[in-house]
Amino acid sequence: MAQPARALELLNSVFGHDAFRGNQTEIISHITTGGDALVLMPTGGGKSLCYQLPALLREGTAIVVSPLIALMQDQVAALTQLGVKAAFLNSTLSAPDAWEVEQSLLKGELDLLYVAPERLMMPNMLQLITRSNIALFAIDEAHCVSQWGHDFRPEYLQLSVLHEKFPDVPRIALTATADPQTRGEIITRLALQEAHVFVSSFDRPNIRYTIVDKQDSRKQLMRFIQEEHAGESGIVYCLSRKKVDETAAWLTLQGVKALPYHAGMEASARSTNQARFQRDDGIVIVATIAFGMGIDKPDVRYVAHLDLPKSIEAYYQETGRAGRDGEPADAWMTYGLGDVVQQRRMIAESEGSEAYKRVCAAKLDALLGLAETAGCRRVRLLEYFGETGAAACGNCDNCLDPPQTWDATEAAQKALSAIYRTGQRFGAMHLIDVLRGHTTQRVVQCNHNQLSVFGVGCDTDDATWRNVFRQLVALGYAEPDHEAYGALKLTAASRGVLRREVRVEMRHAVTRKARAQKIRRVIVDGAVVAPDAQLLDKLKAWRYTEAQAQSVPAYVIFHDRTLAGIAAAQPQTLDQLAAISGIGAKKLERYGAAILALLQGAQN
Ligand code: ADP
Ligand code: ZN
């Protein structure tokens, strides 16, 4: 069979998928015919197949270098379920177990071998490789070679040895980190100058971006979970450890299965929580950004930010952990004046050089631009990563529910005057009292009821004023005073507004209507069908028992999408079952009868 036809045949029979995605076909063909490649694809784009299929198509064993020791076992379990001969070598294996894996490698019994980078570089491992038949080297998470990135792994720097020692074995390096600087570092440090670079679009069309005005963020989060994601897996990011603990405890009180995760916890508690999140159904993990690289869960249905990240890169990486399986998922964030003030202060108080602070400030400004835009969020995100010309997406809050903008020049002028007349020593709360004409104790004490600005904003409500101050700071017309906690002061740009030389456009706060919980719909024989909810619950219960018995994560048995497909199509025969996406030959053989019996039982 010609190679492309054989690749498609294996995709169907082993992996149970109908067609390749994006540029998977070209990448697989390039590697299979012996070329080197650098693959840049967003999280969830389908990188694994780009080396797993060539591993099956080429003679010998594919060596997969991966820094994520904690995940190797799950990756190997998932492949074993598909009937692929896979194993791993890392420090968690006992010496006799490792010896056995090495023997299988020598005998040519393995399709894929996952190895930690430090292990691969040991002299006896390199010797073992010399004596074995190697199909290819896959270097996963290739951005770990970047000394400037936060995932830097020094052992990755030595991986160029592979090219020197085994010049005839094709290499494929893969990463979801897009920026040109990291790309350049990967090429030089891994000696991939000859490699073909495959760049995919960084769009994640199944993720819906939403940024809401922060009011009571916990309650907003609770409503979001209840209304849109009850019982589903999600990640909630907070800035501080304390807030992580408090939020997890609060969610638990509200009846949500929530667990905390941060660097201040004991290592054992942390890894227990991570393992439960990875393996069980419907766990919510509340975490600081320390919770990152070790997660490879395909069915995370939402990522919620209770605090503002530092940059668009960080936001995109964190939100990218939602919906890796391609099913609808949400990236949801609450954002308010406090976030802007806090991030600006953190930059001002950081230890870095002036140049470093300028870079940080510019990155924060780009993120604030995203948060304040009235246009499509996805267009804005893609533009930031250099993909221009995208059309409005129809799957972000601004597309679905376009915010109104208003001419806020006069309001901005009043707000800035209030800052100026009160001596640039007060925060937004007090300034709003002055503008609204509230005679609070503090207003009276400071004689601020005598000022010309006192009460000039009485016809505008508090919420709108909070919005005005937030946008003034986000747009750079006012800034937090780093000497006086919480106080706002004027900037060089304020003058233009005070003199009415610039027009200030702001967006109205949007009060969103509740959105219905998304019902997964599946295409059966060309028609769109909603899965039977009761049947889906039964299938999930069956999957849970099966996963527990084999001690593997639930998604390793079947993905949500596959269960939804079964609950929609309700197949009667093994052939009909095999037609559902995600059911390859091995899984049909192993689980087919049990599923058909379950479906029949449910009908009687
Ligand atoms: P990445 O490593 O790029 O984050 P994965 O390789 O884990 O992504 O793939 C993400 C998800 O997409 C997995 O659930 C995988 O089974 C699925 N997938 C990948 N390629 C295809 C395809 N051609 N058809 C259907 N599903 C696919
Ligand atoms: Zn949009």
Of 214, 256, 188, 234, nearest to 38 by C-alpha is 188
**What pLDDT sits at residue 295?**
72
Using CB distances shorter than 6 Å, the residues near ligand 1 are 17, 20-21, 24, 41, 43-49, 298, 324-326, 559
Domain region containing 334: 207-400
What average pLDDT does this structure show over 211-235?
94
Asked, for residue 512, whether it belongs to a domain, the answer is no
Whether residue 218 sits in one domain with residue 188: no
- Does the pLDDT value for residue 180 go beyond 90? no
CATH code of 292's domain = 3.40.50.300
What average pLDDT does this structure show over 540-544?
91
Whether residue 545 sits in one domain with residue 449: no
**What pLDDT sits at residue 17?**
87
Tell me the per-residue pLDDT of 442-483, one tens digit each, with 9 for 90 and over: 999 999 999 999 999 999 999 899 999 999 998 899 998 877
Residue nearest atom 19 in ligand 1 by C-alpha distance: 46
Give, for ligand 1, the residue of 21, 143, 207, 559 to mutate: max count of ligand atoms closer than 8 Å to Cβ: 21
Asked, for residue 301, whether it belongs to a domain, the answer is yes
Q: Provide the β-strand partners of residue 330.
A: 208, 302
Taking the C-alpha atoms of residue 273 and residue 265, their distance in angstroms, rounded to an integer, is 11
Whether residue 410 sits in one domain with residue 385: no
Taking the C-alpha atoms of residue 177 and residue 151, their distance in angstroms, rounded to an integer, is 11
74 compared with 96, residue with greater pLDDT: 96
Q: At what angle do helices 354-372 and 377-384 cross, to 10 degrees?
A: 150
Instruction: Give the β-pairing of 488-490 and 478-480.
Output: antiparallel
Asked, for residue 514, whether it belongs to a domain, the answer is no
Taking the C-alpha atoms of residue 392 and residue 380, their distance in angstroms, rounded to an integer, is 10
Whether residue 105 sits in one domain with residue 12: yes
Asked, for residue 513, whether it belongs to a domain, the answer is no
Q: Give the pair of three-digit tokens for residue 268.
A: 């054992």
Residue 526 binned pLDDT confidence (cut-offs 50, 70, 90): low
**What pLDDT sits at residue 519?**
52
Whether residue 395 sits in one domain with residue 270: yes
244 compared with 178, residue with greater pLDDT: 244
Of 107, 155, 96, nearest to 131 by C-alpha is 107
- Does the pLDDT value for residue 387 go beyond 60? yes
Tell me the per-residue pLDDT of 321-365, one tens digit each, with 9 for 90 and over: 999 888 899 999 999 999 998 898 889 888 888 888 888 888 899
User: Last residue of a domain, which of 354, 374, 400?
Assistant: 400
Q: What are phi and psi of 541, to 5 degrees?
A: -65, -45
pTM of the predicted protein model: 0.80
Whether residue 360 sits in one domain with residue 219: yes
Q: At what angle do helices 312-319 and 377-384 cross, to 10 degrees?
A: 110
Asked, for residue 517, whether it belongs to a domain, the answer is no
Whether residue 344 sits in one domain with residue 241: yes
- Does the pLDDT value for residue 516 go beyond 60? no
Whether residue 383 sits in one domain with residue 422: no
Domain tally for the chain? 4
User: Last residue of a domain, which of 362, 384, 400?
Assistant: 400
What average pLDDT does this structure show over 400-408?
91
CATH code of 463's domain = 1.10.10.10
Asked, for residue 269, whether it belongs to a domain, the answer is yes
Question: What's the residue count for the chain?
Answer: 604
Q: Give the ligand at the shortest distance from the Cα of 402.
A: 2
Taking the C-alpha atoms of residue 91 and residue 89, their distance in angstroms, rounded to an integer, is 7
Whether residue 314 sits in one domain with residue 231: yes
> Do 474 and 371 form a contact (C-beta atoms < 8 A)?
yes
CATH code of 560's domain = 1.10.150.80
Residues 6 or more apart from 141 whose CB is under 8 A from it? 66, 67, 68, 151, 174, 175, 293
User: Last residue of a domain, which of 183, 199, 215?
Assistant: 199
Q: What are phi and psi of 388, to 5 degrees?
A: -100, 165
Give, for ligand 1, the residue of 324, 522, 557, 580 to mutate: max count of ligand atoms closer than 8 Å to Cβ: 324
Residue 512 binned pLDDT confidence (cut-offs 50, 70, 90): low
Q: Give the ligand at the shortest distance from the Cα of 393.
A: 2
Whether residue 580 sits in one domain with residue 477: no
